[in-house]
Amino acid sequence: MGHRVRKAVFPVGGMGTRFLPATKAMPKEMLPVVDKPLIQYAVEEAAAAGVEHFIFVTGRGKNALEDHFDYAPELERMLEERHKDEALDAVRRFMPRSGQISYTRQTEPLGLGHAVWCARHLVGGEPFAVILPDDLILADEPVLKQMTDVYDPLGGNLVAVQDVPREHTFRYGILDIETDDGKLAKAKGLVEKPKPADAPSTLSIIGRYILDPVVFSPLGRRMIGAGNEIQLTDALATTLAVVPFHGLRFEGVRFDCGDKVGFLQANVAFALHRPDLADDVRAALRDLVC
Ligand code: G1P
């Protein structure tokens, strides 16, 4: 089996307070970019990388997420009867098969590290992916696929990284770099959300991880880190002595959909990449801003 990544964890329990009132009764991962919810982009990216088991760590609004990845017989019948072929295709295009999705609940909002730890029994003892749906990436080749392509023979932990302006380091997990060939960087340390002056580099973790299951052991120790939360970055830092840690500079443009401006920008960028919409959207934008 080698290092094949068969499972992906999607932490989708966040409160989405930055998008209230839109997220009052709906998880933020259901917010659409153009016409597809963020979570579907994430699940499709995992599937494109060969993932077969999708593990959702939910908190609230679980129903909308579960229903989204379930058959909708009445809707499909109605679309069939009305010959709405395109709409029917959009509903059916990505539908995981029975048993491919598992849901578990994070019953306390203790942070990303804790959310990932909640998936430990579903993951078991094999390397697994973590995708943060807020980080949406427009790329010719899905970023998780770019990562699985280089994961063997690296093994250990591999994350997607990009350089950010130094004044933004406080928003990210930052690598302390040991070696760097411009594409792949090997880390000797990791810091979660350092102040710009304290950051060991400007190479930041973006929400795509392939992790060795050794990380569950430090996660279980419930170390409290930045923002008083159990941080995945801190647990990963403790595994540096045991397994290698690499950051891959991916090809693509990343949008922070946890932020209003980033979310709006993602909508425009993805719409401009849609052959069926690009011309109309460009004309509409020109009307607005000129
Ligand atoms: C999380 C991680 C951080 C990472 C970021 C990427 O932070 O803790 O290390 O750089 O995602 O988006 P969050 O954005 O959830 O605060």
- The pTM for the full model equals 0.94
CA distance 235 to 231: 7
* Nearest partner of 128 among 166, 107, 106, 158, judged by Cα: 158
Q: Count other C-beta atoms under 10 Å from residue 92's C-beta.
A: 12
**Residue labelled with tokens 């390397």:** 127
Beta bridge partners of 184: 248
Q: Is the CB of 207 under 6 A from ligand 1?
A: yes
> Identity (one letter) of the amino acid at 124?
G
**Longest CA span, the chain:** 62
- Ligand 1 pocket residue status of 206, Cβ below 6 Å: yes
Q: Which of 132, 143, 191 to mutate to test the pocket of ligand 1 (most atoms within 8 A of CB)?
A: 132
Alpha-carbon distances of 145 from 136, 149, 224, 252, 253, rounded to whole Å: 14, 6, 32, 12, 15
Judging by DSSP bridges, how do beta strands 157-163 and 245-249 pair with one another? parallel
Q: Is 159 in the pocket of ligand 1 (CB under 6 A)?
A: no
Q: For residue 83, what is the DSSP state? A: T
Looking from the CA of residue 227, the nearest atom of ligand 1 is: 16
16 lines ligand 1 (CB under 6 A): no
Domains of the chain: 7-289 (3.90.550.10)
How far apart are alpha carbons 82 and 2 in whole angstroms? 48
pLDDT per residue as tens digits for the range 100-139: 999 999 988 899 999 999 999 999 999 999 999 999 999 9
Is there an atom of ligand 1 within 6 Å of 130 CB?
no
Tell how far the Cα of 269 is from the centroid of ligand 1, in angstroms: 22
Q: How confident is the prediction along the chain (290 residues), in pLDDT tens digits per residue?
A: 467 899 999 999 877 888 999 888 889 999 999 999 999 999 999 999 999 999 999 987 678 899 999 888 888 898 888 988 888 888 777 778 888 999 999 988 899 999 999 999 999 999 999 999 999 999 999 999 999 999 998 999 999 999 999 999 999 999 999 999 999 999 999 999 999 999 999 999 999 999 999 999 999 998 899 989 999 999 999 999 999 999 999 999 999 999 999 999 999 999 999 999 999 999 999 999 87
